Amino acid sequence: MAVHKVIINLFSMFTQLKVSPEQAVINDLDNVTQEELDRNNKLLFVEYTSDVYSTTPTCMCGHLAKEYWLGVECPKCGTKVQNKVEQVLQPQLWMRAPKGVAPFLNPIAWILLKDFLMIDKGTNAFDVLLWLTTTDTSNKKHEALQADITALGIERGYNYFVANFNDVINKLFTLRIYDKPEKRVARSRLISVFRHYGDCIFTEMLPVINRNMIVMESEAAWRYIDKSAPMGVNAVRLLLGIDTKGSHLRQSARENRVAKMLSKLTEFYIDYFKTNYAAKRGLIRKHMCATRTAYAARAVIASLSTPHRSDELYFPWGPSIGLMRMHLMNRLDRYGMPPMAVFEFLSILVDNYHPLAGKILDDMLAEAPGKRIEGSFVRNPSLHRGSMQLMGITRFKKDPSDRTINLPATNVKSYNADFDGDEMGYVMAGDQTMLTLLEPLKPHKNVFDLSRYRELSGNISLTKPVAAMWSAAIAAGPRREVAVDMSQWAA
């Protein structure tokens, strides 16, 4: 199954999770006394006061915390006592749409709409969505646009915006600033998303990020916390205790708080995931991209200097053993080697050459179509044309100390790579269907410009004689047969 982005129905998610009634919704948590403040802080983030990480089994709220309670359900939070490393990071706190306020706009929908409606950037930025959903924000630099929106009969306020969502959006899209040619594609995509996920755009419940994802370390004089964490905590605090008896906010103030909470919460989501997940040292690269994948290998690239084709690779010994592990296991099993001996043999092969393994790998090349093992060769995180190409392994190198993949120098430019330690990944095509799908990624298909068919793209390096020959052939037009007298070149 493919991995793809969707907008989740958050209310359905809330009904399916097991959470404590008295701790599930922050709207109903009193936040006046110091004891209540300390309790709420423990629900929002984790604070460590020493450099020792405790692995004591606990429930999510910490009420039960000992090996003795392992597997027992906590009477307060309703979760079972588990080891720290086995706890599911599901939301335990939720925000409910305050009394008298319309349902929340899904944060993903808020982000998409905010990005489309946003005017300018930096100090001149005008957040149109926040201005529409609040009554106490202003922007004097864009008063003309505000007047145009008012002239359309659109009123300000969160409840009005939600109640007249389709009408407000349709009127905004008629404004000249949102009807420019460069905006039309984004506008049609936005409309398509809203239509497809119509039942997910609004929700009565919003999850609060799990406390274990926001960690603060306290020392005698200093406190350390992720830079983006206060943004999320402060956004949630806007609705903390808003439906308790001690809250006496006006209706307009309640609506404004919801709109500002959504604005701050989405800013936190973007910053948190950009910093902690999508960054080069983020969790995605550490725990998802860094995991071992079957039929794949990754190694440093080096130049292929011997005579070669532009779509072939010479593969190093160690990574070859990992790449062809399942095939090697099947061949060794056919030779009668016991399973435990196979595992031990393959472990030794990673750093040591053996003639039997060398023969098996060479036999696989000889048996493969075209005497090459095809697959995709990519350098992350490049995404432009030519950053992934269909390449074939034509030789398994036998020297275990040589751990580099030999790549044709003509292909380096399209990968935006060089031979100074760059690593690239190879994923073998598992069947003919996959190989057919990868066909458009062959290196030679990066030569010509896609929009200017008489020009070279520059995505692949060509030697000057070859480039000149191709340019001349293009300029000459249709192919013609030319008679050449070869007698003058006779010995």
pLDDT in tens, the chain (491 residues): 345 678 888 888 888 776 554 457 888 888 878 888 887 887 788 777 777 767 788 876 678 888 888 888 888 766 788 887 776 677 778 899 999 999 999 999 999 999 999 998 777 889 999 999 999 988 888 899 999 999 999 999 999 999 999 999 999 999 999 988 888 888 999 999 999 999 999 999 999 888 777 877 877 778 777 788 888 888 998 998 898 888 889 999 999 999 999 999 999 999 988 888 777 777 776 765 556 678 889 899 999 888 888 899 999 999 999 999 999 999 999 999 999 999 999 999 999 999 999 999 999 999 998 999 999 998 876 667 788 899 999 999 999 999 999 998 888 888 888 888 888 989 999 888 889 999 988 888 877 776 676 677 766 666 555 555 555 666 666 554 444 443 443 43
138 three-class SS: coil
Question: What is the reported pLDDT for 62?
Answer: 73
Domain 296-471 has CATH 2.40.40.20: yes
Q: Are strands 388-396 and 373-378 parallel, antiparallel or unpaired?
A: antiparallel
Evaluate the omega torsion of the peptide bond into residue 339 and state whether it is cis, within 30 degrees of 0.
Answer: no
CA–CA dist 398, 376 (Å, integer): 22
Global confidence as pTM: 0.64
CA–CA dist 212, 226 (Å, integer): 12
> Closest by alpha carbon to 61, among 37, 44, 48, 49?
44
Strand blocks (E) in 119-226: 202-203, 205-208, 215-218, 223-225
CA–CA dist 193, 109 (Å, integer): 9
- CA pseudo-torsion sign 457, 458, 460, 466: positive
- Cβ–Cβ under 8 Å, residues 327 and 428: no
Crossing angle (nearest 10°) for helices 181-196 and 107-117: 170
Question: What is the reported pLDDT for 15?
Answer: 83
CA–CA dist 134, 10 (Å, integer): 24
User: Taking the CA of residue 188 as centre, how many other CA atoms within 13 Å lie in the half-sphere pointing to its CB?
Assistant: 5
Cβ count within 10 A of residue 23: 20
Backbone angles phi, psi at 49, to 5 degrees: -105, 5
Can you name the residues that pair with 376 across neighbouring β-strands? Answer: 390, 427
Q: How many residues does the chain have?
A: 491
- Cβ–Cβ under 8 Å, residues 314 and 391: no
Q: Which amino acid is at 103?
A: P
CA–CA dist 116, 194 (Å, integer): 13
In the chain, residues under CATH classification 2.40.40.20 are: 296-471
Q: Which amino acid is at 299?
A: A
> Closest by alpha carbon to 386, among 444, 434, 433?
444
Could you please report the per-residue DSSP string of 94-130? EEEPPTTSPPEEPHHHHHHHHHHH-BS-GGG-B-HHH
> Closest by alpha carbon to 161, among 256, 37, 66, 46?
256
> Closest by alpha carbon to 130, among 9, 11, 251, 255?
255
Strand blocks (E) in 202-295: 202-203, 205-208, 215-218, 223-225
For the record, the structure tokens of 186 come out as 């984004």
Question: What is the reported pLDDT for 382?
Answer: 60
Question: What is the reported pLDDT for 483?
Answer: 46
In sequence order, which residues have a C-beta less than 8 Å from that of residue 73 and are 6 or more positions away?
59, 79, 80, 81
Could you please report the per-residue DSSP string of 15-64? HHS---HHHHBGGGS---SHHHHHHHHHHH-EEE-SS------B-SSSSS
